[in-house]
Structure formats: structure tokens, C-alpha cells
Amino acid sequence: MDRLAPRLFLLVVGVLLATLLVVLALADRASRDQALTEANDRLEAAHGVFREQLRLRLASQAQLTEAVGSDFGLKEEIVAATPGSVSLEVTLRNFQRRGGAAWALATDPEGRILASTTTALPADTRLPFEDVLVEGGAGSLRRVDALLHQVIATPVHAPRPLVVGWLVFGFPLDDANMQNLKQQTGTTFSLLDHRDVRTAVLASGLDPAAREALPDRLLPQEGFTTVVLPQRGEDVVLVRPLDAEAGDRIHVVMQKSLSEALEGFRRLRLQLLVTSLLALALAAAAAWWLSRRISRPLTDMAILARRLGDGQFDTALPAEATGEVGTLARALTVMQHGLRERDEALRAVAYVSGLTGLPNRAGLVDALRPALAETPHVAVVVLDLDHFSDINDTLGHGVGDGLIAEVASRLANAAPPGTRIAHLGGDQFAVAIPVEERGDLDGRVGWIAASLAQPVTVEGLALHLGATLGAAIAPDHGDTAEALLRHAESAMYRGKARRDGGLTVYDPAHDHHSRQRLALMGELRGAIERGELQLHGQPKVHLGRGEVVGVECLVRWQHPVLGMIAPDRFIPLAEQTGQIRQLTAWVIDAATRAMRAAEDQGLSIRWAVNVSALDLLSDDFAGRVTQAMAVAGLAAGQLVIEVTESAAMTDPELAVRQLGELRRAGVKLSIDDYGTGHASMAQLKRLPVDELKIDRSFVKNLASDAEDEAIVSATIALAHRLGLSVVAEGVEDAATAARLAALGCDEIQGYGVARPMPVAELVDWVARHRSAVRAFVGGVAA
Amino acid sequence: MADAVVEVHDLTDGRDAPQADLDQRDLAFVPRVLAVRRGGSVRFLNGDRVNHHVYSFSPARRFDLRLSKGSAGASLQFDAVGTVVVGCNIHDWMLGYIRVVEGPHFAVTGADGVASFDFEAPLPEGATVSAWHPRFADSDGVVSQPVSARVTIASAKPLKPDPWPASPGYR
């Protein structure tokens, strides 16, 4: 696990535990060594006692045997005895009893047993241990009849030095002796004989179970050792050879209980253990406490660090930590403070407009994010200063900047509480206003226009300001600041396009519409290449002659998805994207081909093509047109170029030049949608046009509307006076046609005559509808 | 060597052996070595201050006599040639030898280790002289040699240890 408290705890406890265990082990070892040493000392002492006892016994036994050996009666018996003498045996038995020996026997001077009180050493056999038959011998230990005996032999003199025989006594070292020794010394003695394959226990003070197990568990080697015996536990053992003469075979084994010896130490060990456990518990508690004191501040610091990562610079650390931890905590607090300051500075740079001190787009978005979460109804208004670029270009950026700053300050001062103002950049500002209801908005933006009403004085110049406003309201128009801004901007641009100086509220439908328009714009280029454009033509009928004299070419876009798209939908797009040139080129090309075809089929009429302002702006436009006509082998006079008033006015000089060039080539020129544009009479006068086309808005209600009739009438008169022919667009019925004829209009065009149709069908249509046309305009005097 | 019993053999003229007395004085036999002619008897005296129980288990003559102090004792006849080892049952260290010889010409050497003989007649050819001593390791403890005017008899074998350890005496 990684946490500090348990780790420290475990470490301290572990170390202490290990130390205590080592101490306990050492104490155990030391006490055991001590017990062993003491036991060894006691065993050595016991051995000494044993040896001394043997010696004393031997001494007294020797004396006894000697005394018996000098008994006259015995001498007589021995001298008289033959092997197996009963009399001697009886005598021996008597002396044996007197002497406390286990057995007695008498031999002849050569060692042949004359009589014996033990069947183990029968009469008339040689004494197996003749080496004891030594004058003055101190006796030795011999094994007779599975017991060890101290064997004392004394020569029977008659008299000294004449030896008539030997008296041999055997004094046993038996269990009784061992018990005696045990009582005297507190040590358990055993006598082991290793002569045979299996070590025999000749005598022992041990209990039967231990006695049984002893030979197997004990190694027959001299010195100190320990042995574990059943029902006894662990004993310290001293093994010594019993008798030098007996060789290594017979050992006296002395043992004392080690467990008893260790008993005293057991208490010490218990005390040690208890103390250790107590110490352990205390140390553990202390370790835990200390680690908490460290780990808690560390955890707090970790939290602070995490919050720093999240951009929170306000975590407070408890001041209790001391030492290195405290130093770290204080350092972190200082760092937090520094980070906060830097963050604020960064924020200021990132989120604030340098020029105005207001939040910039990023700042507004950042500020709105939490606000939107709280208050769902927020309106974002984007305002764009009108003609700012003109001011910038004319008066310089210094003035422009000063203007922006002034606007910013006015807005800031005028803003009601709860309103956020931002400077999006350039001449765009944004205002975020909380609104309860949608309808509320109008009432809440008045202050914006009011603040801009007064002229701004910059460098001594009084500049009048205007702004276009676009608004998007949450949550209808978006729920994120970015979306709201985007939609508000979109609304603002729409307002700009409509030259609507007020507030335009975002319309999702329009947006959708404009999205679609944008899509179309992109597709338009491909449309030309993919052949999705079709050339249609709408016949123009001459009122006087009652026949088709011309065709206006119209482009239709057969969109694979949207179907047939009318020119008023995509022509403006083309103009915006500059693709109108390619479009017009295509139209010219298609028209010239259609003209050629119609011509070949016998239809010789004038074909009109719409041309935009952009087309007029290109220097080579006129040249291209004439060349196209030439290539098609068509007379220039068969082509009519229709331009709108506004298009002509975009760059009047250039328009005049281009149109003039076309005119000189022989192409006819027509002013389209006359009456709806911005051309003045003076400008019109200068244009080299041949024809005027009255806009359909005037024609539509001509029959019923007196004012429309007046306008049309006047226009026709004006045109004629200027030497121009007049075409009326949007004629829908015969009555209107009649009216127009009465007013002196030259040509008509409209649904009443024919809807636009693919140019390939034109020739056929004209052929089939000759009489219908004549009837439509019939009853009209030429 | 003292206490050697010297005998000249094969002389037939009889002579009476002197009276052999074995006395005990100061807890020792006096003489230590007594020579007696076969068939002769030995008178056992006790000139000591204590009682003695004199005995022998020698095959030549087995006997045991309780001699109270100062008693004139008994006489025992010795009919077999050989060595009779005499001891006292009460006083284990007391040791004496009664050497029974054929006779009649025998003597015990004195402290000077010399035994003298006077012969009336010259010794026959082939006569031997022998010496017995308890320390002789030879068989029976006897060493023989041809007789001559002056004879030194020595045992060829190493001597056995002195059978008379120092008497503890009275305390």
C-alpha cells in the first residue's frame, strides 16, 4: 500500500519487532548458554563425586576382600578345595553376604575357578579376567552377568608370599547405586556399554521410557552434549569413559534436566516479552500519530496541487505543520499565490482586449460559460460599427483606435448592471444581457444606440457613429457562448446586408437558408463543369407586330438533390463568389450555340443575355462577347446584353467603356429592372443603351393601379424620347398587354406570354404559337 | 647368603640332628629358616609377648598350632622331605621356612652366608652339595654342585624377591 501512515507504522513496528525478536533470541541464547554452563559445571562436579565414590568403594571393598582373604578358614577351604567344592562355595557365600558383594569366587593360583557363587562365572572354568589377579591390584570394573561390577581380587597367602589361591569379590554398580548417586548429586547417572552392536544400558537412574531411548539418542563420544528423551525433555549430558582399563567401551553418562535449568530464565523471558509487547504498542501508537501528522498535511498539499492543476488558486493550507513538511506547505502556498498572480496576468492578456480594457472574445466566452449554466436566458448582442473601415482608411489607425476606445468607454459607462461588455476585436463589440423573455430584448438594447448617438470627437473631428446589431438569445439560439456569438454575428451580418441599421434577431431558418446558400456556392463551380446548368429562354413579343421578336436567356441549375434552382437563388451567390464570370461565359457560350441552332432552323430573333456588374468590371468582357458571336457566325446585332441599373452603377466609368465597346461592335444593350435601381437620370443618359426593361413590380398591377400605370406611362415616354425601346416584364394577362400597348410599350415578356423554356424547345414553340401570340396581342392597333 | 640350607648329600653316616626349635620373638619366626632331618621333629615355642597361630599348608607337612604367649608349645614330626612354609594366622607378615632334608649333613648359613662342615672321612667321589634358599628360582629352590673343599653355590637364575618384608613391629 502506498499511504504514508500505514507504511511508517509498519516500518516502525517492523523494525521494533525485528529488534525485539533479536533481543529475545539473544536473551534466549544467553540464558540457555548460561544454563548449559551451569549444568556442565554441575555435571563435572557430579562426575567428580562419582569417581571419588568409586574410589572409596574400591578402597573399602579392597580392604574388605583382603580381610576376608586372610581368613584362616577360607585358606583351609581353598587349600583343600577341588573345582566345584561345595564346602568352599558355601564358605564363599557366607563371606559374600558379610561383605555385601554381589558374588564371590575363589580360584587356584593359576586362575582356575574353584568355587563361585554366581553361575555367570562357574567353577572349573578359567576366570575371564585374569588380569585382575594382580597382587595389590585396586580392582577393576568388569561386566558380569549384564551388570557392571567392581571386581576385587585378593591373593590368599598361606603365608605370604605363598599364594594358594585368589579370592575374587564382585560389587555391583546397579540401579540402586545410580539412585543413590542421584540422591546425592541431583544428577542422573547411567552406565552404558558400547561393546556390542547395540549399546546396553548397564545401570541407570532414569525412568524406563527414557532409559529405553537413551542408547539410540546419545552418541558414544566423550564430552558435553544435549539429548532429548521421552517424558524428560531436554537434558544436558556429560559422557565420560568409566575405566581406562575398560577402554572406550563403558561410559558413565550424567545428565541434568536443561528444562529445569531454564526454568528460572523462563520467567525472565516472559517479563522481557511483556515489556517488549508494551514497547511495541507504544512505538506503534507513536509511529501512527507521527505519520498522521506528516501525512495529513501532505494530503492537503496534494489537494492543493491538484486544484492548482484545475486552475484553482485559492486553496488554504492549515498552518499547523512544522519542520520540513511545514516548509513545503509554506512554499506551496507562496507558489499558489505566484501562480494566481500569473494566471490573472495571463487572463488579462488572453482574455482582455488591450486597446479597450474590455474582455475579448475569449474572455467573454470564458465569463459566459458559468453564467449560462446559472441563467438560461441570456441574450448576446453583437454590434458592428458602420463604415469603420472608411474611417480607418481615411483618418488613420490612430484615430480608429481612439474611436474604438471611446466607444468602449461609452458602452461600459452606459451598460446597466448585470450586463457584460466585450470588445471582440476590430470594430466589433458584444454585449451579454440577461433577459427573462424573448420579447424583452428590444427594451433592453436601447441604451446601446443611445450611447452611440452622440458624435465622437477624435483629434478634433466629430464623427457620427452607427452600428448594426445582431442578437442571439439563449437557450433558443444556442446554449454555449460560442454558438450564441456566432449566431448573433450571423444575424448582424444579415442586418448589414439588408442595410438594416437596427437590431436583427437571429433566425435559425435563415441560418439554415444561408448555410444552404453557402453549400450551393461551393457547388456552383462544379455545376458548370458537370453540366447541371441549363439555358432557358423566355420569348419576348412585339406588341405592334404581334410576333416573337426576342428571347431572354435565363440560366437554370438542375441540382441533383435540390432540383431546379432558379437564377435568383444562385446568381447572387455567383456574384458574391466571383463565379459569375464563369457563369456568364457559359451563358454566352450556350446562348451563342442556341442562337446558331435557332438560326439554322429559321428562327431569326434577338437573344438577350443577363450580365452582372462583375462581368462589366473585367476588361476583356466586351472582347469575349464579340468573339463568341463571331465564332458562332452570328451578327452582333442579334445579341442583347441586359444589365441592371445597379450593376451599371457599380463603376460607371468602366461600365460606360465596356458597354460602349459592345455597342460599337453592334451588340444591343438593355437596362434591366428599370425603376428599381439607384441610377440617376444623368447616369442613365450617359449609358449607350438601346432598350429599357420596366421591372415587373410596376407591370403586375398595371391594369388596376393608377400609380403604377402613371410610372409605366412616364417611363415609356421617357425612353422613347431618349430613343430607347421599352420592354415590359412580368406581363401576366391580355388586359395588361392591351394596356401596355395602349401606353405605347414596344415589347412584352411574362408568364402571360410564355414561361421560360429550354432553348431547344423555343423554335418549336414559336412555330406552334404564332396565332396564339397574335391573339394575345390581338385587337391592338399597331 | 644367610639362611641358606646347605646340605652335603650322599653321606650315609648318621648323626643325630640337633633339636630344631621354631620360636617366635618380636612377631617374627626365629630362626627364619629352620632345617630339620627327615623324621625329625620340630619343637614350637612362643617366646613372644603375644599369642600366635602358627600354621602351614605345605604338602610336606600341614599343621596349625595355637601357641599362647610364652608357651613351650608342641612338637611336630616332619616325615617328608620338602619345604614347609610357615605362617601366623594372626600376624600375616610372619614367615618362616622349615626345610626338611634327608640329612645328616646339613647346616644353615649364617649372616655371612657361610656354612661349614667338618668331615672325619674324606667325601666319596660324586658327592654333591646343594643349597636351598627361598629366593632361589630354581626348581624346589635347590641348586646343586659337586662338592669340593670350598664351594660357592650360586643360582643361575635371578633371585626371587625377599620374602621378608619389614615387620611392622609393635606400635
- For residues B70 and A307, the model is more confident at A307
CA A161 to chain B, closest CA, distance in angstroms equals 6
Chain B residue with minimal CA distance to A77? B57
Does position A137 have pLDDT exceeding 70, yes or no? no
pLDDT digits over A418-454, tens only? 888 999 888 889 988 887 766 677 777 888 888 888 8
Q: pLDDT confidence of A746, banded at 50, 70, 90?
A: very high
Does position A269 have pLDDT exceeding 70, yes or no? yes
Query: Which residues from A are below 8 Å from B93, CB to CB?
Result: 160
Q: Is the ipTM of this complex over 0.90?
A: no
Bond into A652 cis (ω within 30):
no
Distance linking the first and last C-alpha atoms of chain B: 30
Least confident of A182-191, A457-466, A593-602, A694-703: A457-466
Q: pLDDT confidence of A728, banded at 50, 70, 90?
A: very high
pLDDT digits over A218-233, tens only? 877 788 888 888 888 8
Report CB contact under 8 Å: B64, A161.
no
- For residues A399 and B126, the model is more confident at A399
User: How many whole angstroms separate alpha carbon A407 and alpha carbon A424?
Assistant: 13
For residue A780, the model assigns a pLDDT of 46
Report CB contact under 8 Å: A160, B56.
no
Helix axes A361-374, A481-497, angle to 10 degrees: 120
pTM above 0.90, yes or no: no
For residue B171, the model assigns a pLDDT of 44
Hey, of A70, A79, A154, A162, which one would you mutate to test binding to chain B, going by the most B CBs within 10 A of its CB? A162
pLDDT digits over B81-117, tens only? 888 999 888 888 888 888 888 877 788 887 787 777 7
Does position A782 have pLDDT exceeding 50, yes or no? no
The beta-carbon neighbor of A79 closest among B57, B89, B95 is B57
Residue A207's contacts (CB-CB under 8 Å, 6 or more residues apart) are: A231, A232
Q: pLDDT confidence of A291, banded at 50, 70, 90?
A: confident
pLDDT digits over B13-22, tens only? 556 666 788 8
Q: pLDDT confidence of B167, banded at 50, 70, 90?
A: low
For residue B45, the model assigns a pLDDT of 87
Closest CA to A641 of A666, A668, A601, A619: A668
> How many CB contacts within 8 angstroms connect chain A with chain B?
39
pLDDT digits over A515-555, tens only? 777 777 778 778 878 888 889 999 999 988 888 999 999 98
pLDDT digits over A189-211, tens only? 988 887 777 788 888 888 888 88
Residue with cell 480594457: A357
Report CB contact under 8 Å: A159, B53.
no
For residue A501, the model assigns a pLDDT of 66
- SS3 of chain A: helix, strand, coil, percent, to 5: 55, 20, 25
Query: Which residues from A are below 8 Å from B56, CB to CB?
Result: 158
- In this prediction, residues A17-23 reach a mean pLDDT of 87
Report CB contact under 8 Å: A70, B92.
yes
Report CB contact under 8 Å: B56, A158.
yes
Report CB contact under 8 Å: A72, B55.
yes
Q: SS3 of A256, please?
A: strand
DSSP string, A59-88: HHHHHHHHHHHT-HHHHHHHHH--TT-HHH
CA A164 to chain B, closest CA, distance in angstroms equals 9
User: How many whole angstroms separate alpha carbon A456 and alpha carbon A710?
Assistant: 46
CA B9 to chain A, closest CA, distance in angstroms equals 28
Report CB contact under 8 Å: B57, A160.
no
Does position A369 have pLDDT exceeding 80, yes or no? yes
DSSP category for residue A311: T
Residue A629's contacts (CB-CB under 8 Å, 6 or more residues apart) are: A592, A635, A636, A638, A639, A665, A667
For residue A541, the model assigns a pLDDT of 92
Pairing of the two strands A533-542 and A563-565: unpaired
For residue B168, the model assigns a pLDDT of 61
Output A759-762 pairs: Cβ under 8 A, ≥24 positions apart: A759/A535, A759/A536, A759/A537, A759/A551, A759/A553, A759/A590, A759/A591, A759/A594, A759/A597, A759/A598, A760/A594, A760/A597, A762/A537, A762/A539, A762/A551, A762/A594, A762/A598, A762/A603
Q: pLDDT confidence of A82, banded at 50, 70, 90?
A: confident
The amino acid sitting at A253 is V
Helix axes A175-185, A4-69, angle to 10 degrees: 120
Query: Which residues from B are below 8 Å from A157, CB to CB?
Result: 87, 92
Report CB contact under 8 Å: A159, B85.
yes
pLDDT digits over A231-265, tens only? 888 888 888 887 655 555 788 888 888 887 778 78
Does residue A622 contact residue A665 with C-beta atoms inside 8 Å?
A: yes
Q: How many CA atoms lie within 13 A of A581 on its CB side?
A: 12
Mean confidence (pLDDT) of chain A = 84
Does position A109 have pLDDT exceeding 70, yes or no? yes
Report CB contact under 8 Å: B57, A157.
no
Share of chain A above pLDDT 90, in %: 6
Query: Which residues from A are below 8 Å from B161, CB to CB?
Result: 161
Query: Which residues from A are below 8 Å from B87, CB to CB?
Result: 157-160, 162
Q: Which helix (H) or strand (E) holds A748?
A: strand A747-749
Does residue A725 contact residue A746 with C-beta atoms inside 8 Å?
A: yes
User: How many whole angstroms separate alpha carbon A643 and alpha carbon A440?
Assistant: 45
Between the CA atoms of A694, A697, A703 and A708, what dihedral angle is there, to the nearest 10 degrees?
-80
- In this prediction, residues A119-135 reach a mean pLDDT of 82
CA A88 to chain B, closest CA, distance in angstroms equals 16
CA angle B48, B52, B58 (to 5 degrees): 125
The beta-carbon neighbor of A160 closest among B53, B57, B95 is B95
> What are the two backbone dihedrals, phi and then psi, of residue B133, each rounded to the nearest 5 degrees?
-145, 140
CA angle A32, A33, A37 (to 5 degrees): 115
> What are the two backbone dihedrals, phi and then psi, of residue A359, each rounded to the nearest 5 degrees?
-60, 145
CA B50 to chain A, closest CA, distance in angstroms equals 18
For residue A544, the model assigns a pLDDT of 85
Query: Which residues from B are below 8 Å from A72, CB to CB?
Result: 53, 55, 64, 89
For chain A, the residues whose C-beta falls within 8 A of a C-beta of chain B are: 70, 72, 75-76, 79, 157-162, 164
Hey, of B57, B89, B95, B136, which one would you mutate to test binding to chain A, going by the most A CBs within 10 A of its CB? B57
Between the CA atoms of A73, A78, A79 and A81, what dihedral angle is there, to the nearest 10 degrees?
120
Chain B residue with minimal CA distance to A74? B89
Strand partners, B12: none
Does residue B66 contact residue B53 with C-beta atoms inside 8 Å?
A: yes
The beta-carbon neighbor of B92 closest among A79, A157, A164 is A157
Distance linking the first and last C-alpha atoms of chain A: 110
User: How many whole angstroms separate alpha carbon A52 and alpha carbon A75?
Assistant: 32
Sign of CA dihedral A184, A186, A188, A189: negative
> What are the two backbone dihedrals, phi and then psi, of residue A723, each rounded to the nearest 5 degrees?
85, 25
Report CB contact under 8 Å: A159, B64.
no
pLDDT digits over B9-58, tens only? 655 555 666 678 888 888 888 888 888 888 888 889 888 888 888 999 88
> What are the two backbone dihedrals, phi and then psi, of residue A142, each rounded to the nearest 5 degrees?
-135, 150
pLDDT digits over A378-407, tens only? 888 888 888 888 888 888 888 888 888 888
Least confident of A78-87, A177-186, A241-250, A643-652: A241-250
For residue A540, the model assigns a pLDDT of 93
Q: SS3 of A197, please?
A: coil
